[in-house]
Amino acid sequence: MPKGAKYGGRQKGTPNRFTALKDAFLDAFESKEIGGIKGLIAWGKKEENRKDFYKMIATMLPKNVSVDVDHSGEINIASSKPMKEDDWIAKHADHLAAAARPTDRTH
């Protein structure tokens, strides 16, 4: 085999399947039928979807990192023990529910 020759794998210019899937998902998300961010919020507000909504958020957050900031501005980053998804949701449910509630912006 010549040095640097490529055999097998995708042909140059062939789209990555994950990229194509991600693009299709984003197109669907932004469609009039799904409603983009407003549609996601409306779906997440429904009580029967709340647990799934929090699970999706949990998958997007770092799993093994904790950050502490003290009043001096010092930032401490440390690894933490992995937490089960349901435990994370239970620990943060009140905070997440409060963040999902509409606020009174008439002031």
Which residues are registered as beta bridge partners of 77? 67
Q: Which of 3-7, 49-53, 65-69, 92-96 has the lowest mean pLDDT?
A: 65-69
Q: How far apart are CA 1 and CA 64, in angstroms?
A: 43
Report yes or no on whether pTM surpasses 0.75: no
Over residues 30-61, the pLDDT tens digits come to 888 888 888 888 998 999 999 998 888 887 77
